[in-house]
């Protein structure tokens, strides 16, 4: 440890399960085609709820990734995490054995953890009493068990953690992993975010805050970032996991390199538990710090995968923050919110959206913001409405902001030797 | 269905093992790959199916499939 050479961090594997696809390829094709993954909720009765729509994971076979017996003891957010990790590890071709186990870590974030298990087992507690609670309740509920189960499966014995920073959790995790590799604590990290909070409790809770869209009759049009007629976010399930690696380590084993992570910024609003402040200076500082740490000029950034939740406040304030950071260059940037198609995966968003930003860099395509029919007042950037846009991008940002005033931003760069 | 058959059916379902593995002397932990939490869940399924209650002290003594069968028979007043 402690080589004097500045370590660089690259992405060598990716996996995702989300409302528009159960692999990276499926997801990328759907996003470029402007396909919505939002529909009526099928997993529970929505009759009493104001919101009856969400982005559920569809056509996903958990038994491809988890044994039947294991499945019973895991909450869905952990199953999604294991599936994403499986795809990412295969994609990276990274083998963990006695020689490197202690140098591979696992940091996977989740905003809420096993919400559906809490709901189910609380009903058991109320109806049948404490003796009928499953012994797997607690290990299914704890948010850090996504990282825990992944580390157990692959024998990854390096640093482990689980940021629980609400809707920024996935980005917090990737940022932490980036620093762990850069600072020499690990050579590779399995990292990202996952969520499975589409449940009666989750929907009712966010409904109580009036945070969710209630456009139940037009599910595919419900998530409308930056649009005048947006009425809140649409929840989604799933997430994304990436394999981060020290560049020299990746080169030594001849790994395929997708992109480089070169900056991370994290700030607090210190303002309100749920609302961003006007101008969202915390978000702006987070972007500025991420850029400074990357050593790149703001003008090198061609694309921002926005937080873009479609809540009334976020979209206007995020736009203001982008303008503050990029000045005139903000007019030349492409800024899109893929939440218009996937919905908002909460703690899973940062994992999925980092993958989207990497694909945009690799493929030279910016996925669109669908449903943006009439930009709201104050929303006057190029949000790539409706249709994907071919564009050579040198660097991209992934923005995620969470309740509690968390702002987390990644800077990703096209890989060059 | 006899108690033996029912017990084995529950074990096959809960521990995801084959019927062939479920010989009377098979130990839940050593032979059938259960951990302590699997065992708690298995015992809960037995309690539910046979309408009995098994205390934690008694649970400690149930190591094999035969132990479980004997115990349930005794509880149900069917002991030989």
A153: which residues sit within 8 A by CB, 6+ positions away? A82, A85
Whether B80 is in a domain gets the answer no
Minimal Cβ distance to A69: which of B16, B44, B48: B16
Write out chain A residues lying below 8 Å of B15, CB-based.
69
Alpha-carbon distance values, A399 to A218, A309, B23 (Å): 27, 11, 57
Q: How far apart are CA A301 and CA B48, in angstroms?
A: 61
What's the total number of domains in chain B?
Answer: 1
Instruction: Using the CB atoms, write b or e for A329-353: b if 16+ within 10 Å.
Output: bbeebbbbbbbbbbbbbbbbbbbbb
Q: How far apart are CA A387 and CA A104, in angstroms?
A: 39
Write out chain A residues lying below 8 Å of B13, CB-based.
none
Q: Which tokens hold the place of A303?
A: 């694309």
Per cent of chain A over pLDDT 70 is 99
ipTM surpassing 0.85: yes
Whether B17 is in a domain gets the answer yes
Is the pLDDT at A163 greater than 80, yes or no?
Answer: yes
- Residue-by-residue pLDDT tens, chain B, 80 positions: 899 999 999 999 999 999 999 999 999 999 999 999 999 999 999 999 999 999 888 888 999 999 999 999 998 887 65
Whether B10 is in a domain gets the answer yes
Is the pLDDT at A1 greater than 90, yes or no?
Answer: no
Q: What is the mean predicted confidence (pLDDT) over A145-169?
A: 98
- From the CB of residue A159, how many other CB atoms can be counted at a distance below 10 Å? 20
Task: Write down all domains in chain A, each with its CATH number in brackets.
Answer: 9-252 (3.40.47.10), 263-414 (3.40.47.10)
pLDDT in tens, A70-126: 998 999 999 999 999 999 999 999 999 999 999 999 999 999 999 999 999 999 999
Phi, psi of A194 (to 5 degrees): -145, 155
Most B CBs within 10 Å, among A67, A68, A69, A149, to test the B interface: A69
Q: What is the mean pLDDT of chain A?
A: 97
Whether B68 is in a domain gets the answer yes
What is the distance between the terminal CA atoms of chain B, rounded to a whole angstrom?
A: 18
Would you call B31 a catalytic residue per the annotation?
no
The C-alpha of B13 sits at a distance from chain A's nearest C-alpha, in angstroms, of 8
Task: Say yes or no for a CB contact (<8 Å) between A69 and B15.
Answer: yes
Q: Which tokens hold the place of A113?
A: 């953890």
Task: Say yes or no for a CB contact (<8 Å) between A135 and B37.
Answer: yes
**β-bridge mates for residue B8, sequence order:** none
Q: What is the mean predicted confidence (pLDDT) over A35-46?
A: 97
Task: Say yes or no for a CB contact (<8 Å) between B41 and A68.
Answer: no
Q: Which tokens hold the place of A76?
A: 């869905």
Alpha-carbon distance values, B15 to A157, A308, B20 (Å): 28, 45, 13
- Predicted local distance difference test score (pLDDT) of residue A350: 98
Measured between CB atoms, does B40 come within 8 Å of chain A? yes
Contact pairs from chain A to chain B, CB under 8 Å: 21
Give the CA radius of gyration of chain B: 11
Whether B65 is in a domain gets the answer yes
Is the pLDDT at A4 greater than 60, yes or no?
Answer: no
Q: What is the CATH number of the domain that holds B54?
A: 1.10.1200.10
The C-alpha of B9 sits at a distance from chain A's nearest C-alpha, in angstroms, of 14
Q: How far apart are CA B70 and CA B73, in angstroms?
A: 5
Whether B34 is in a domain gets the answer yes
- Predicted local distance difference test score (pLDDT) of residue A69: 87
Is the pLDDT at A3 greater than 80, yes or no?
Answer: no
Q: Which domain holds residue B12?
A: 3-75
pLDDT in tens, A174-230: 999 999 999 999 999 999 999 999 999 999 999 999 999 999 999 999 999 999 999
Q: What is the largest CA-CA distance in chain A?
A: 64
């Amino acid at each position: 440890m402690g080589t004097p050479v500045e370590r660089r961090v690259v992405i060598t594997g990716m996996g995702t399960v989300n409302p528009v696809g159960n692999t990276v390829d499926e997801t990328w094709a759907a996003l470029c085609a402007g396909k919505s993954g939002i529909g009526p909720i099928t997993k529970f009765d929505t009759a009493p709820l104001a919101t009856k729509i969400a982005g559920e994971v569809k056509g996903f076979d958990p038994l491809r990734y988890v044994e039947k017996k294991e499945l019973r003891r895991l909450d869905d957010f952990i199953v999604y995490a294991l599936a994403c990790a499986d795809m990412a590890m295969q994609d990276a071709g990274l083998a963990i054995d006695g020689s490197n186990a202690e140098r591979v870590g696992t940091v996977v974030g989740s905003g809420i953890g096993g919400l559906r298990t809490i709901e189910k087992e609380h009903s058991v507690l109320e109806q049948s009493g404490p003796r009928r609670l499953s012994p797997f309740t607690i290990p299914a509920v704890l948010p850090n068990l996504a990282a825990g189960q992944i580390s157990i499966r692959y024998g990854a014995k390096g640093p482990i953690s689980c940021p629980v920073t609400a809707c920024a959790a996935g980005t917090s995790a990737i940022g932490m992993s980036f620093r762990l590799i850069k600072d020499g604590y690990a050579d590779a990290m399995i990292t990202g975010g996952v969520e499975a909070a589409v449940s009666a409790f989750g929907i009712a809770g966010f409904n109580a805050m009036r945070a969710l869209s209630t456009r139940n009759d037009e599910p595919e049009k419900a998530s409308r970032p930056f649009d005048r007629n947006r009425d809140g976010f649409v929840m989604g399930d799933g997430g994304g996991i990436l394999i981060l690696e020290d560049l020299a380590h990746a080169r030594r084993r001849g790994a395929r390199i997708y992109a480089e992570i070169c900056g991370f910024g994290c700030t607090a609003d210190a303002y309100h538990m749920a609302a961003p402040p006007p101008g969202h200076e915390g978000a702006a500082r987070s972007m500025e710090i991420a850029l400074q740490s990357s050593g790149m000029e703001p003008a090198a950034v061609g694309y921002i995968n926005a937080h873009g939740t479609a809540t009334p406040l976020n979209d206007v304030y995020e736009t203001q923050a982008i303008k503050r950071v990029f000045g005139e260059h903000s007019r030349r940037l492409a800024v899109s919110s893929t939440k218009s198609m996937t919905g908002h995966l909460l703690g899973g968003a940062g994992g999925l959206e980092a993958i989207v930003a990497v694909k945009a860099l690799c493929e030279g395509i910016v996925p669109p913001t669908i449903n943006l029919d009439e930009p709201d007042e104050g929303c006057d950037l190029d949000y790539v409405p409706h249709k994907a846009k071919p564009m050579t991008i040198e660097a991209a940002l992934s923005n995620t902001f969470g309740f509690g005033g968390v702002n987390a931003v990644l800077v990703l760069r096209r890989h060059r030797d | 269905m006899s108690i033996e058959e029912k017990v084995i059916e529950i074990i096959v379902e809960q521990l995801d093992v084959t019927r062939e593995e479920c010989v009377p002397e098979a130990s839940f932990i050593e032979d059938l790959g259960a951990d302590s939490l699997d065992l708690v869940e298995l015992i809960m399924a037995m309690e539910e199916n046979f309408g009995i209650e098994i205390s934690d002290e008694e649970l400690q003594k149930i190591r094999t499939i035969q132990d479980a069968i004997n115990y349930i028979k005794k509880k149900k007043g069917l002991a030989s």
